[in-house]
């Protein structure tokens, strides 16, 4: 049986990408992997805006919410030096 990728299924796929990255940013034990997830979500994920739009999420709204939810101790060094 051939899988049909409807717009609704594609939206769910992109939402799953975002949710998995958030999960990694919050629970990953390997610092390099966790930092990469933080960077993509909070700083400058090159394709982050496109993924958010495809998931039906406004990118900056999600970033604002994530910044308040992720632990301050887990923040990226670049963010601390910028006073964020």
pLDDT digits (tens, 9 = 90+) for 14-65: 999 999 999 999 999 999 999 999 999 998 778 999 999 999 999 999 999 9
Distances (CA, A) of 7 to 3, 47, 56: 13, 19, 11
> What confidence score (pLDDT) does residue 32 get?
94
Task: Give the residue, 44 or 10, on which the prediction is more confident.
Answer: 10
Boundaries of every domain in the chain: 7-81
At which residue do the structure tokens 């887990």 appear? 74
pLDDT band at 68, cuts 50/70/90? confident
């Amino acid at each position: 049986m051939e899988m049909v990728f409807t717009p609704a299924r594609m939206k769910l796929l992109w939402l799953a990408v975002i949710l998995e990255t958030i999960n990694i940013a919050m629970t990953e034990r390997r610092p390099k992997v966790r930092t990469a997830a933080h960077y993509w979500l909070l700083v400058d994920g090159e394709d982050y805006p496109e993924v958010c739009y495809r998931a039906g999420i406004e990118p900056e709204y999600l970033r604002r919410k994530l910044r308040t939810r992720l632990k301050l101790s887990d923040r990226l060094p670049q963010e601390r030096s910028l006073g964020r």
